[in-house]
Amino acid sequence: MEYRQLGKTDLKVSLICLGTMTYGEQNTEAEAFEQLDYALDRGVNFIDCAEMYPVPPRPETFGRTEAYIGNWLAARGNRDKVVLATKVTGRGAANSGVAHIRSGPRLDRAQILKACDDSLARLQTDYIDLYQLHWPERQANFFGRLGYRHSDDDGIAIAETLDALDELVKAGKVRHIGLSNETPWGMHRYLRLAAHGNKPRIASIQNPYSLLNRTFEVGCAEMAIREQCGLLAYSPLGFGVLSGKYLGGEKPQGARLTLYERFQRYTGERAQAATAAYVELAREFDLEPAQMALAFVNRQPFVTANIIGATTMDQLRSNIASADIALDDDQLAAIESVHAGNPNPAP
């Protein structure tokens, strides 16, 4: 397993990060334990979760993913062997699906402090290695929106949010902070406030990145490299679409897009066409389609870690093994050719 530096911190994290948003919904606690044990044994030291997990978020399951991980840490006594990341939920309207979280989550001081304490309790730990803002307080172009439409309603000021995170760092409850679903402007604003106010510096940004969505390259990639604030790439398989298992209208039993029709981000006509081309390409090169897709993400210079998720052990084994695959120049050129013909079909 390759390890990369997390921002400007002294932490080294595995190239493959274990995503856990299925724990408590599609995966039982026993299955979560099996996944966590296997990943750690294969050199994965980086675990990512969030207070709102599992997904889709529901009041009945809120916090269950963190609770499973906390139980595993307590049972194994291995807190010192993992880099643990979680997230505080961003601003949510009544119809956002997260209104049950603190009667409507906001990134103000009181809510951030409470959210962190609650996560610490569920995780059964005294500190969080990387505490991330799940999405911005302000309205911006994230979660599939490419075009920016300005709103004067910025909500809680970034300065207040950063002050609250600073308080957690000084209290020893959080070691480092990060962003998620952010824009280049958002990255710049947090970095600037940190530099001029002696506040904690963001160590990472967790945004979507895959063969179907390379929009991170447009503005954020340069920021990530120059500012040493690397990408934690989520949905590197586009909710499993890039494995090819949904092609031809297939609906595999128990698969996420079979169970939850609300997730349509990676299933549009253009995305299906691009996926078919990538799957065909992988088979021409005698590669598993999912492993080729993950290997592409792994090699990017702006990526710190690739967040994989799996509901079965076979998927987990295959996804982790992608760390050992190096795409050659011919394979990369072929991938670029497909991308040029159908760029970012699922932003």
pLDDT in tens, 265-322: 888 999 999 999 999 999 999 999 999 999 999 999 999 999 999 999 999 999 999 9
Q: What is the pLDDT of residues 167-214, one digit of tens each?
A: 999 999 999 999 999 999 999 999 999 999 999 999 999 999 999 999
Is 190 a known active-site residue?
no
| Catalytic residue, candidates 23, 53, 131, 278 | 53
Domains and CATH numbers, the chain: 3-206 (3.20.20.100)
Q: What is the pLDDT of residues 25-58, one digit of tens each?
A: 999 999 999 999 999 999 999 999 999 999 999 9
Q: What is the pLDDT of residues 51-90, one digit of tens each?
A: 999 999 999 999 999 999 999 999 999 999 999 999 999 9
Q: State the CB neighbour count (10 A cutoff) for residue 321.
A: 15
Q: If you average pLDDT over every residue of the chain, what do you get?
A: 96
Residue bearing the bigger pLDDT, 147 or 39:
39
User: Residue 94 — pLDDT band, cuts 50, 70, 90?
Assistant: low
